[in-house]
C-alpha cells in the first residue's frame, strides 16, 4: 500500500474528513477525532489506535512501535507497513475508525 491507497480507503469510511496537522501529517478524522495519521514527508508509516488487548502483541512485532505521545492511549505506529499485508492493514485502519467512533457521543455517531 502507498499513501494514495491509504487515503482512498480512509475516505470510503462514512463521515471521514482529512486534514493536515503539525505541518506535514495527513490526519483522517471522524467528527474532529483522529483515527489515522500518515506523514507526508519521509518514510511511509501509519499511526492508528488499537484495542487495549492487542497493543502489547503488536508493539512486540518488528516494524511496529508505540506511537509517540499517544502510546498511553494504545496508539501504535507501523514504521514498516510491509509487516502487514493489505487486508490486515485495512482491518486495523477500520478498527481504529470504529474504536474512535464508538467513543463519540451517541448523537454524533450517526
Q: Within a domain: residue 9? A: yes
Q: Within a domain: residue 52? A: yes
pTM, to two decimals:
0.91
**Any residues with CB less than 8 A from the CB of 62 and at least 6 apart, and which?**
80, 83
Q: Within a domain: residue 106? A: no
Radius of gyration over alpha carbons of the chain, in Å? Answer: 13
Q: What is the CATH number of the domain that holds 80?
A: 3.90.1150.30
- Residue 29 · residue 17 · CB < 8 Å: yes
Query: Which residues, in sequence order, are bridge partners of residue 35?
Result: none
- Residue 47 · residue 75 · CB < 8 Å: yes
Q: Within a domain: residue 108? A: no
Tally of domains in the chain: 1
Q: What is the pLDDT of residues 27-75, one digit of tens each?
A: 999 988 999 999 999 899 999 999 999 999 999 999 999 999 888 999 9
Query: What is the span of the domain harbouring residue 78?
Result: 3-101
- Distances from the Cα of 5 to the Cαs of 12, 93, 104, in angstroms? 11, 12, 26
Amino acid at each position: 500500500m502507498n499513501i494514495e491507497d491509504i487515503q482512498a480507503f480512509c475516505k470510503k469510511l462514512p463521515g471521514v474528513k482529512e486534514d493536515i496537522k503539525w505541518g506535514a501529517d495527513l490526519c483522517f478524522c471522524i467528527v474532529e477525532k483522529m483515527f489515522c495519521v500518515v506523514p507526508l514527508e519521509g518514510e511511509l508509516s501509519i499511526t492508528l489506535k488499537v484495542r487495549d488487548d492487542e497493543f502489547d502483541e503488536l508493539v512486540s512485532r518488528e516494524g511496529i512501535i508505540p506511537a509517540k505521545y499517544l502510546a498511553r492511549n494504545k496508539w501504535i505506529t507501523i514504521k514498516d507497513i510491509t509487516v502487514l499485508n493489505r487486508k490486515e492493514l485495512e482491518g486495523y485502519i477500520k478498527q481504529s475508525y470504529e474504536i474512535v467512533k464508538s467513543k463519540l457521543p451517541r448523537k454524533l455517531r450517526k
